[in-house]
Amino acid sequence: MKRSIGKYLRYLSVFIALVMVPFYTCHAAPIAGVYGESEQYNAGWLNPEVPQNFQRGDLLYLTIGGTAQNIVVQLLREGEPFGTPAGVLPGATPKVNNAFRTYVPSNRIVRVRIDSEYSKIVQIVVHGGQHPFAFPLGKGNGPATLLNAERVP
């Protein structure tokens, strides 16, 4: 009897490892599109090939170029103009004085958790510099570019 229970448990563990784990494992999917940057705005962006719809809880992994230590992240919907604060996301950095600042770690990959539903997003923008849209990011904060964007639904 002991032997058959042990055998059953081994089969069960193999089943869980091979069948169940892939259903619960999240993989980041690159967002295809055209990347650009603006020296005037100290910013970089991605224009996705297909407008994106984000749900609350989705994760974005943004690889940041440039020398910015802090950024502002923006999701622009169809019809919203670049260069305005429309679609600025709450920051991922603890809210001390600036609720919209996101710290850029040494590996330059910023993790952004989407806080609500955003539909028909046609541009993902990261802003560096000292004060985009009057949000203070710090004296000497450099420009930001967007090198890669991945999504985990």
| Global model pTM greater than 0.85 | no
Q: Report the 10 Å Cβ neighbour count for 34.
A: 9
Tokens of 44: 């970089």
Mean pLDDT computed over 73-86: 88
Q: State the pLDDT at residue 96.
A: 47
CATH (residue range 29-152): 2.60.120
Q: State the pLDDT at residue 4.
A: 66
Tokens of 57: 């809880």
pLDDT band at 141 (very low <50, low <70, confident <90, very high): very high
| Extents of the domains making up the chain | 29-152
CA 46, distance to chain mean position in Å, is: 12
